[in-house]
Structure 1
Amino acid sequence: MSKESSLKQEDSMHPITSIISPSDVNVISSIGNNMVISRNPNISKDEATINALGYKQEFKREFSFFTTFSVSFSVLGLLPSIASTLFYSICYAGNAGITWGYLVGMIGVMCVALSMAEISSAFPTSGGLYYATAMLSPPKYKALLSWCVGWSNYFVQVTGAPSVGYSCASMILALKQMTDDSYTAPTWHCYLLTTAITFVCAIIASSPTKWIAWINSCSTIMNMMFLFISFIIILAANKRSSDLDLSKFNSNDSAWSITNYTDWPDGVSVLMSFMAVIWTMSGYDSPFHLAEECSNAQTATPNAIVMTASTGGIIGFAFQLAIAYTIVDLDAVVNDDLGLGQPYVAFLDQLLDRPKTLALSAMAIVTAFVMAFSCMIAASRVLFSYSRDGCFPLSKYWSKVNPITKTPVNAVWANWFIGQLLLTLMFGGVAIDAIFSVGAIGSFISFTVPTLLRITYARDKFIPGPWNLGKFSDVSGIFAVAFVFLMIPILNFPQYRGADNTPDLMNWTVLVYWASMFIAIGWFLIYAHKIYSGPKTNLDDDDLITSGEEKMQVIEAVVSSGHSVRFGLGEKA
């Protein structure tokens, strides 16, 4: 049957209402200059944009700007993130790591976030980072570069929920140890508790989009409340002056000073403490992965990215100032004399009475649980979108949308299973800490490659979306790339060097992240390059117009059946 006959037959049931090209919505697309046939009589700008980028509209767009921000703020999880990463800030550079060190690091992170927001407006797809890389790369290298960015970002996503679940379980067991002197948590207790936490989180992450949006809206409000309550109690209800015969707050010199707990120079120790702010702030990419479920995505998505990064940065800085000005014994927190394995809980225990310590720790635990299932939501969208283009083994299973929930349930549970395998690292001692630093280095690399291409090779090719930085675009991009180039080697540094750098104190990021990337790149060079050439459309062949002749056939078929056709989102013809 000819394409014209096929169109006439389909048109009798589903009238063609629009012919859309990438130029109509001002995007660079994997389908080049081809046009897309839409049979949706009420096609929106969002659907027209995703069609022009080469994809079907498969999700319900039930996320608004606020609910998208809510998911990303939950992924950011300031309270549990700060609690779980104190080891990388205060335990590297002392109070400087959570005061001026955090502030300097946040400036670099904000430049990365602003540049990502600009790219998300131009490429509002759930696989946007790797899609943007492919569209902005030299044709010869687009497959390899997008492959590397895709896998690097996936490593971030797949390690997110397990690392947060592990922190949640560790804090619960730390409270058990605090209230029961006879109890010492064995590793298998932590593993089973983490498994239970992430299992429940996976169930929640498999819910319909509308439920997820509502849950995250409520959890964001709860996050804000718990942060505010913790902030007030730490400042106003501490026992420094009443029980410890100290001033109510530390001096400025003490709160902003470097106490170097590494074998490296002071400046390097401060740079190493940036790992905490990088990991804490890494959730701001979540709106990008929800772009296909968000209405008005080209502006709501970048706004949510910037809102998450800026709000999280400012509130996180204020909260850590409270810690720096109230901490009683820095050495005791760093060395964890109580044996709790949680610097935040150790800090609360020396500052507050037991009931308040338990209450604030419980708040961090609850928000860590919320953060874990929010991480799973973002991770499932990444696995789904990359599988849609054949990036992963068994992609056809992970790229399915559940017909009942209209969410990628298969992808949720695939990530959960991989997470359980990663959690076995805890039986290797501190090697489990590598999943935190993988989240930092992997996110920075995947976030910044598209920006590097935008300010270099694709400088004149890039088509900015409605949300853009204008004349500040290059300034932000250059600073973001420079900051990332500085931090990539630093994130691989161990705390100690020489004879002090024993296997149990090693920074295993070098092995966990780089070995994983080596395997992914090796797989591409050996085999995957034969089946993967970059993002590919999942539109049906009958929905694509590849020539002027086909366009005329479509117009004639529609007109002859008594229907109208629109070009882009413009007037009917």
Structure 2
Amino acid sequence: MSESEKFDGVTSKVDNVHTDHYPALNADDALLAELGYRAEFKREFSLLETIAFAFSIMGVVASVTSTFSFPLSAGGHVGMVWGWLIPCFFVMTVALSMAELASSMPTSAGLYYFSAKLAPPKWAALASWITGWANITGQITLVCSIDFTCAQMIASAVTVSTDGATVLSASATYGILLVILFCHGLVCSAATSILARLNLFYVVINIGTTVAAIIALLVCSGGNKVSTKDAFTLFENSTGWTNNGWAFLLAFTAPMWTLTGYDSAAHISEEVAGAARTAPIAILLGVAGTQILGWLLLIAASFATVSVADLLTTDLPLPLGQLFLNVLGKRGMLAMWSLIIVVQFVTGAAQGVDASRVVFAFARDNALPGSRWWKHINPRTQTPVNAVWFVITSSALCGLLGFSTTALTSLAGASVIGLYVSYAAPILLRITSGRDKFVPGVFSLGKWYFPIGAIAVTWVTFIVVLLFFPPAQNATALDMNYAVVIIMGVFAFASLSWVLSARNWFTGPIKTVDEPTSSVDGKGSVE
């Protein structure tokens, strides 16, 4: 096979590099070399740790807590229960398509690499450029939105603990955000082995707190619950939109924001043993587990919510905090809330790792301003520490939106739009120009790739349009949805950069090796 044949097509057939003769670790590095990249990380994420990472990055209990205001106002009980369940079916089609791509091409470059390899040669660089910038935008705004809501949770705890005497200002909340971001910068700069072990703690605290919250809401509310009929069918429109159908659709923001970041399994695939098998398993189990636990939590919340209006008019930044206060009392609420804050903190830490790997990979292909800095691997930790701090600094700048009244709507919308556009781009190419050049990996959708991919792309198109709309019909400068500002700002920058400069030098993913290698004989050759 010639060099051009190796890299122009998409292949994940590990037999091509005689991996039967080597342990899984060396097979991974040989496959990575076949995809064009030299191994630069230690492969210290196991299957269990990768699943834990993908699951923890969605932080189900903390994410539901953060976004509870969306279904609460967009349908009340119906918004909580059905506004979560309906999007889950469509998100799974995206996850299935992404799992197939990650199995075929397990590299930290992930989505923009997939686009480059599946697009027609003439458009490969542009497809890679668009996908990469969309993904980075989503990754960074997701870090910011997670940490911003963590700051809001801390602010809520302060308000409750002082019986309402202390209500933190937007400036104070932003200060807390900066502290959280700094702590995450330190955590994300650690070595891969440490990060891998931390994810086992992350998943235990995540699942444990979610189950505890479900039980607490159902048991401690006692007889003070709504009927089963009301819990599943009572509709209340508090959005400000006069059309009830449109109002209900806005509830989809909550599951869409929660069910993001599962591409993380692809982005850490260069740190994973058996990546072609492990990455798709982690993606699918992470998404399915989050969908099920999130739905059960929202059903419990629906039963425990006796007054939607009471929760919407709370002085607390996050309405679910008021629900826990109503059900558990002050001490019980603060105990549960402390656990949720921990979950949100570790979710932000996991997302920071994911975002830094995307920045590193894009910089490795010289696609970012100052790429030579952001692709640097720290010799002590063997992780992209510079890329970590690029993410932290950018997230701090995005956090300035916290001074608007719709900060969460704007940040959540921008992160979902950025990420899902980057998810849909390679899926669209997979079912169009990439049909003949795609060679499946360990996990394959077989003949179902086309209908599943078509549904995924259609759903993403719909949800992107939806998330550009403001939460109320008559928006002002203070309560408008600034997601459009973030997305269009990045789009304008990326477009101008492409037209004025990048189209002359960016060719898509670049090779850092000339041929597949193995570390077995120490000579860089495959026997």
- The bucket for the TM-score relative to the shorter chain is over 0.9
Q: Which residue of 1 aligns with 2:509?
A: 535
1:201 pairs with 179, 184, 199, which one?
184
Q: Equivalents in 2 of 1:297, 1:534: separation in Å? A: 22
Q: 1:564 to 1:210 in 2, by over 3 A?
A: closer
Q: Which residue of 1 aligns with 2:208?
A: 225
2:359 pairs with 383, 386, 391, which one?
383
Residues 264 and 496, structure 1, Cα contact 8 Å, conserved in 2: no
Q: Which residue of 2 aligns with 1:345?
A: 321
Which letter maps to 1:492? F
Residues 134 and 422, structure 2, Cα contact 8 Å, conserved in 1: yes
Q: 1:177 to 1:264 in 2, by over 3 A?
A: same
Q: Equivalents in 2 of 1:306, 1:22: separation in Å? A: 33
Q: Equivalents in 1 of 2:333, 2:398: separation in Å? A: 31
Q: Equivalents in 1 of 2:72, 2:420: separation in Å? A: 22
Q: Deviations over 1:442-464 (max 9, x none)?
A: 11110011111111121222111
TM-score normalised by structure 2 residue count: 0.93
1:65 pairs with 13, 29, 47, which one?
47
Q: Which residue of 1 aligns with 2:112?
A: 130
**Is 1:259 matched with 2:259?**
no
Q: Which residue of 1 aligns with 2:67?
A: 85
How do 1:370-449 and structure 2 match up within 5 A? Answer: 370-431=346-407, 433-449=409-425
Q: Secondary structure of the equivalent of 1:225?
A: helix
How do 1:201-350 and structure 2 match up within 5 A? Answer: 201-238=184-221, 240-241=222-223, 246=224, 248-262=225-239, 263-336=241-314, 339-350=315-326
Q: Deviations over 1:282-311 (max 9, x none)?
A: 021110101111011001001100010111
How do 1:100-111 and structure 2 match up within 5 A? Answer: 100-111=82-93
Which letter maps to 1:59? F
Which letter maps to 1:276? A
How do 1:409-558 and structure 2 match up within 5 A? Answer: 409-431=385-407, 433-497=409-473, 500-539=474-513, 543-544=514-515
Q: Equivalents in 2 of 1:214, 1:318: separation in Å? A: 28
Which letter maps to 1:350? N
Q: 1:331 to 1:564 in 2, by over 3 A?
A: closer
How do 1:157-196 and structure 2 match up within 5 A? Answer: 157-180=139-162, 181-196=164-179
Compute the RMSD of aligned alpha carbons: 2.6
Q: Equivalents in 2 of 1:110, 1:310: separation in Å? A: 8
Q: Equivalents in 2 of 1:22, 1:334: separation in Å? A: 60
Q: Equivalents in 1 of 2:5, 2:296: separation in Å? A: 45
Residues 77 and 230, structure 2, Cα contact 8 Å, conserved in 1: no
Q: Equivalents in 2 of 1:142, 1:22: separation in Å? A: 15
Residues 272 and 278, structure 2, Cα contact 8 Å, conserved in 1: yes
Unaligned 5+ runs, structure 2: none
Q: 1:565 to 1:163 in 2, by over 3 A?
A: closer
Extract structure 1 runs of 4+ deviating beyond 4 A: 19-27, 35-38, 40-43, 563-568
Which letter maps to 2:457? V
Q: Secondary structure of the equivalent of 2:91?
A: helix
Structure 1 stretch displaced more, 425-434 or 390-399: 425-434
Q: 1:24 to 1:398 in 2, by over 3 A?
A: closer
Q: 1:94 to 1:474 in 2, by over 3 A?
A: same
Q: Which residue of 2 aligns with 1:357?
A: 333
Aligned residues: 516
Q: Equivalents in 2 of 1:424, 1:407: separation in Å? A: 28
The CA deviation at 1:567 is 8.9
Unaligned 5+ runs, structure 1: 1-18, 546-562
Residues 170 and 403, structure 2, Cα contact 8 Å, conserved in 1: yes
Percent of aligned positions with the same letter in both sequences? Answer: 32
Residues 36 and 51, structure 1, Cα contact 8 Å, conserved in 2: no
Residues 88 and 275, structure 1, Cα contact 8 Å, conserved in 2: yes
Q: Equivalents in 1 of 2:511, 2:5: separation in Å? A: 17
Which letter maps to 1:187? A
**Is 1:47 matched with 2:29?**
yes
Which letter maps to 2:327? L
Q: 1:153 to 1:264 in 2, by over 3 A?
A: farther
Q: Equivalents in 2 of 1:41, 1:188: separation in Å? A: 56
Q: Secondary structure of the equivalent of 2:362?
A: helix
The CA deviation at 1:564 is 12
Q: 1:224 to 1:36 in 2, by over 3 A?
A: closer
Which letter maps to 1:511? V
